[in-house]
Amino acid sequence: MNRSVLNVTYAVGFFALAAGLLVARANPATAYEPSLFTATPTAVWVGFGIALAIALVTALACRGRQQAIGIALGATTVTAIVSLPLIRNYRFAGMGDALTHLGWTRDIVSGNLQPHELFYPGLHSLASVLHFVAGIPIERALLLTVVVLFVPFLVFVPLVVRDISGNGLAVGVAAIVSWMVLPINNIATHMGVHTNSNALFLVPVVLFAFVAYLHRRSTVERLPLGLSPFSALLYLTGIALLLVHPQQMINVVVLVGTVAGVQYLARWRYSDHPMLDHPTAYTHTIVLGVIFAAWALTNERFQSALSGMATGMLSADISGGQTVDQRGASLTEIGGSLGELFVRMFLDAAVIGLLVALFVLVMWLGWTKVDRETSAFVTYFAIALFPLGGIFLLYFVGTPTMAFRQIGFIYVVLTILAGVAIAQAIGGLSRYFTMPGANTVAAVALGACLVLGLGTVYASPLIFSPNQHVTDQQYSGYETSFDHGVDDQPYAGLGYDPYRYDHGIYGLEREAPLTSAGTASGEVDPDEFEAGNYTGAYRGSDYYFAVTEYDVTREIEVYQELHHSEDALSDVSQQPGVNKVVSNEEFELYAVESTNATDGATV
C-alpha cells in the first residue's frame, strides 16, 4: 500500500477512535445499565469498529513500523472498550468479589490493613497508590488499576511471539488474537476488579522474560553472583504476578518446570537440537517454586483453598459435571440452551484452540516448514499444556470454579501459540491464493472471532448474566440502610446476599461488624417468597429485605421469573408486617416482621 494512503488510513483510524472516546465520555451512565454494550451509544461502536477494522487489516498486511502502528491502534481501541466503565463514569463495577476487594483497598487506605497482610495485595496496593497520588476516589482507582494491569497483555503477547518466531505475520496475528481477550470466560474469570483474572494479563510479561532468557546466547552480560539479567527479570515479574494472585504463579511454575523437563529429555535423547543451545530452566523452576512456597504455604487462605479442593474431589456432592447439568436445566427453563450459550461465549475460543491443536499435531508430524528454533518453543508451550490440563481436570472434579480459572491461564498460552499457528495457516492458503487473498480470508475469519470475543468481554443479558454495574443510587441505598438499620437485624436480598456491600462500604478489617449485614445476611427463600409468605421467607426472624434494579433485571428480565416473579415482588409492600423504610430510583429496603412477630399470621 502506498505510504501516503497508509498514513491517511491510520489517521482515519485514530480519528474514529478519538471520536468514539469523546462520544462515550459525553454520555455517562445515569442509571443502572443491564448491558454496557447496548447502553453505550451506537456512534461509539461505529468509531471503535472502524479503528479495529483498520488495525486488523494493517496488522496482517504491513510489516515493521507500519505494522507496529496498526497494532498500537488495535490495542488502544481494545483498551478503550475495556475502559468503558471508567470512561462512562460508573460508580463501580462488580457485585461479588469486586466489592470485597474494594473493602480491602479501603482498609489499606485507612491504615486498618497493611498490604503484606493480604494474600494477594498487588491490585489493592496499586489502587491505593493511585488514590493517594491522583486524589481520585477509591472506587475509580480500582477501575483504573484494572486497565493498568490489562494493557501488558496486549503489549507482551505479540512481543513473545516475535521473540519465538521472528515472523512478522505471526506477530500481527498474535496481536489480533490478544484483542479477543480469550482468557475472560465470564464463568470464573471476569473483566473487572477480580485479582485472579487481573493476574492473567501479567502472565505474558513473565513468559516474555522467560523466552528472552532461553534465547540468550551470550554469557558476557552478567549481574553479581553470575545472575543473568533475564533471570533477574523472570524472578521480578514472577514476584509481581504472585502479589496479584498466587494461583497464576503456580501455573507459571508448572510451565517453567515442564520446559525444564523437556530440556532434560532433549539432552538425553538428541545430540543436535535447538533445545540443546538453550540455557536450562532447572534453577528457575526451583527458585520460582521456593518463592511461591515461601509466600503461600504458611497462608491460612491458601491452606483452606487446598482443603476445599481436596474435599470436593472426595465428595460426590461437588463436581463440575453436576454444575453443568444444573446450569443446563436452568437455561432450558428460560428458553436457552447450553449449545446456544456455548456459541455466544466460547465459539471463538474453540476455533482458536482447535487451530492451535491441529497446527501442533501437523508440526510434530513434520508436515510444516516451521524452522527448528520456532518448533522448539512451540513444543515447550504445547507440552506444558498437558500438565496444565491435568490441573484443570483436578479442579473440575474438586472445585469447578477454579477449573474455569485454569482455562483462563491455558488460553493465555493458546493466544501466544495461535500467532504462530494461524500465520502458518495463512502461509499455506497463499499457495492456493495470492498472499493478499489469503490475508483477506484471514481478516474476515479473525474479524468474526474478534466481534465474538469483544462482545462477551463484559457480562450482559446476551450471555444470561446482566452487567454488574454499581450505581450511585444502589451504593447510597445500601449505605443509608446500613447506617440507620437496627444493629442485630439481618439483611436478605432477592437472589443476592447483601454482605458484599457491607465489605465495599465499610471494609473488612474492623474490631466488630458495623452492621448486621457483616454477620447475618443471605437471600430470601424463593419458595416461601413466591407463596406469599414474605414474613417467613428468611429464617423465621425479623429482617430487612433489600432489592435493587440489578436484582429486578436479573430475576425478571434475564432469568424470566425462573426463581422470583414480578407479581410476588410487587405485592411485598402491600402486605401486613412489611414496611418500606428506604427508597430511591434503584434501591428499596423493607423492614419485614417475622411470622412469630405477627402472631403466626402468614400472607
Displacement of CA 160 from its chain's centroid (Å): 21
> What pLDDT sits at residue 594?
80
Band of residue 601 on the pLDDT scale cut at 50, 70, 90:
very low
Q: Which residues pair with 93 in a beta bridge?
A: 469
> What pLDDT sits at residue 573?
85
For residue 166, pLDDT beyond 60: yes
Taking the C-alpha atoms of residue 570 and residue 532, their distance in angstroms, rounded to an integer, is: 11
Among 2-6, 111-115, 257-261, 457-461, which is the least confidently predicted range? 2-6
For residue 515, pLDDT beyond 90: no
> What pLDDT sits at residue 331?
66
Q: How many CB atoms lie within 10 A of CB 47?
A: 24
227-236, 312-321, 329-338, 409-418: which has the highest mean pLDDT? 409-418
123-132, 422-431, 537-546: which has the highest mean pLDDT? 123-132
Q: Which three cell numbers stand for residue 455?
A: 462482545
> What pLDDT sits at residue 75?
98
Among 172-176, 358-362, 441-445, 538-542, which is the least confidently predicted range? 538-542
> What pLDDT sits at residue 586?
95
> What pLDDT sits at residue 393?
92
559-568 contact pairs (CB < 8 A, 24+) = 559/330, 559/334, 559/464, 560/334, 560/335, 562/330, 562/333, 562/334, 563/495, 563/526, 564/494, 564/495, 564/526, 564/529, 564/530, 565/530, 568/529, 568/530, 568/532
Q: What is the 3-state secondary structure (H, E, C) of 368-428?
A: CCCCHHHHHHHHHHHHHHHHHHHHHHHHHHHCHHHHHHHHHHHHHHHHHHHHHHHHHHHHH
Q: Taking a C-beta distance cutoff of 8 angstroms, is the pair 591, 572 a contact? A: no
Displacement of CA 51 from its chain's centroid (Å): 24
Band of residue 410 on the pLDDT scale cut at 50, 70, 90:
very high
pLDDT in tens, 550-599: 999 999 999 988 899 999 999 998 888 899 999 999 999 999 998 654 44
Taking the C-alpha atoms of residue 62 and residue 57, their distance in angstroms, rounded to an integer, is: 8
Among 21-25, 261-265, 509-513, 571-575, which is the least confidently predicted range? 509-513
Displacement of CA 321 from its chain's centroid (Å): 23
- Classify residue 464 as left (phi > 0), alpha (psi -120 to 50) or beta: left
Q: Taking a C-beta distance cutoff of 8 angstroms, is the pair 146, 192 a contact? A: yes
Nearest Cα to 380, choosing from 364, 362, 358? 364
Apex 554 CA angle, 551 and 559, nearest 5? 140
- Residues 6 or more apart whose CB falls under 8 angstroms from that of 434 comprise none
Interval 126-137 mean pLDDT: 96
Is residue 95 classed as helix, strand or coil in its secondary structure?
Answer: coil
pLDDT in tens, 236-268: 999 999 999 999 999 999 999 999 999 999 999
Q: Which three cell numbers stand for residue 163?
A: 521473540
- Classify residue 564 as left (phi > 0), alpha (psi -120 to 50) or beta: beta
Backbone angles phi, psi at 578, to 5 degrees: -125, 125
Q: Taking a C-beta distance cutoff of 8 angstroms, is the pair 453, 182 a contact? A: yes
Taking the C-alpha atoms of residue 234 and residue 460, their distance in angstroms, rounded to an integer, is: 37
318-322 contact pairs (CB < 8 A, 24+) = 318/398, 318/399, 318/400, 319/396, 319/397, 319/400, 320/396, 320/397, 320/400, 320/403
Q: Which three cell numbers stand for residue 80?
A: 478503550
For residue 321, pLDDT beyond 60: no
Using alpha carbons, list the distances in angstroms from residue 398 to 255, 268, 308.
Answer: 22, 37, 8
Interval 121-133 mean pLDDT: 97
Length of the chain: 603
Using alpha carbons, list the distances in angstroms from residue 337 to 326, 399, 450, 555, 562.
Answer: 12, 23, 23, 18, 15
The answer to pTM > 0.95 is no
Backbone angles phi, psi at 163, to 5 degrees: -70, -30
> What pLDDT sits at residue 316?
46
> What pLDDT sits at residue 227?
74
> What pLDDT sits at residue 35?
96
Burial class (CB in 10 A: 0-12, 13-18, 19+), 224: exposed
- Residues 6 or more apart whose CB falls under 8 angstroms from that of 95 comprise 468, 470, 496, 500, 550
3-state helix, strand, coil in the chain (%, to 5): 70, 5, 25
Nearest Cα to 410, choosing from 104, 565, 200, 172? 200
According to DSSP, the β-strands at 587-592 and 578-584 are antiparallel
Band of residue 224 on the pLDDT scale cut at 50, 70, 90:
low
> What pLDDT sits at residue 270?
87
> What pLDDT sits at residue 487?
77
For residue 521, pLDDT beyond 70: yes
Q: Which three cell numbers stand for residue 239?
A: 514476584
pLDDT in tens, 69-87: 999 999 999 999 999 999 9
More reliable by pLDDT, 310 or 562: 562
For residue 600, pLDDT beyond 50: no
Q: Taking a C-beta distance cutoff of 8 angstroms, is the pair 56, 15 a contact? A: no
pLDDT in tens, 337-350: 788 888 899 999 99
> What pLDDT sits at residue 303?
62
Average pLDDT, the chain: 90
For residue 434, pLDDT beyond 90: no
**What DSSP string describes 440-494?**
HHHHHHHHHHHHHHHHTSS--GGGT----EE-HHHHHHHHHHHHHS-TT--EEES
For residue 455, pLDDT beyond 50: yes
Band of residue 444 on the pLDDT scale cut at 50, 70, 90:
very high
More reliable by pLDDT, 552 or 509: 552
Among 27-41, 394-408, 434-448, which is the least confidently predicted range? 394-408
Q: Taking a C-beta distance cutoff of 8 angstroms, is the pair 424, 38 a contact? A: no
Interval 459-478 mean pLDDT: 94
Percent of the chain with pLDDT over 90: 72
Percent of the chain with pLDDT over 70: 89
Interval 105-110 mean pLDDT: 96
> What pLDDT sits at residue 296?
81
Interval 96-119 mean pLDDT: 94
